Amino acid sequence: MRVISGSARGSRLKRVPGDSTRPIMDKVKESLFNILGKVEGEIWLDLFAGTGQVGIEALSRGAEEVVFIDKVRPAIQTIQANLQTTRLQAQGRVVQADAFEYLARTAGNGRFHLIYVAPPQYVGLWQKVMAVLDERPSAWLAPAGIVVVQIDPKEYEPLTLQNLTLSDGRTYGNTQLCFYEQTPVE
């Protein structure tokens, strides 16, 4: 696991001890950033952050700030260590919290350009997060902001959402990326 591009290119990242996280493969991460394009100046929210590698990649490529959320102490310690290794700790804010509690108690103020959702597999958390975000996406997302969900393709099911629309989906082996944008107001 390493940073692919930017100021921390080539930095090796630590893994969270145990098997509670599902790190994204470098090939998939590279494809994700090729799809997203430039991220300079953006502010991201990384829910279920695990190792923090997606948010750290964004920071390395010029994102202004990433808020990392995870409830597991070993994950928090791993994110902090990885931010220190990459010398990106000044732009990363690490919060130990349950993702749903964080969303319920913290006003997003429509500041996030991207919300990355990569919860533990096979427990239906991604659908629940999408339901919460769909209630008031403008409270979290900047006007052209998107939500990217990382799941196993076997977990995917179409969602009935009012305010977020699936705009793209890509499958890379046992990883699926789903891109949701705010539904245009007619």
**Amino acid present at 66:** V
* pLDDT confidence of residue 19: 65
Q: Cβ(118)–Cβ(150) under 8 Å? A: yes
Give the tens place of pLDDT for each residue, 53-86: 999 999 999 999 999 999 999 999 999 999 999 9
* Domain topology for 26-182: Rossmann fold (3.40.50)
Domain boundaries, the chain: 26-182
Nearest C-alpha neighbor of 177 from the set 128, 113, 126: 126
Give the tens place of pLDDT for each residue, 12-56: 999 988 766 667 888 999 999 999 999 999 999 999 999 999 999
> Does 121 or 117 have the greater pLDDT score?
117
Does this model's pTM top 0.85?
yes
CB neighbour class for 122 (10 Å; exposed up to 12, middle 13-18, buried from 19): exposed
- Confidence band, pLDDT 50/70/90 cuts, at residue 121: confident
The two most distant CA atoms of the chain are separated, in Å, by: 48
- Confidence band, pLDDT 50/70/90 cuts, at residue 120: confident
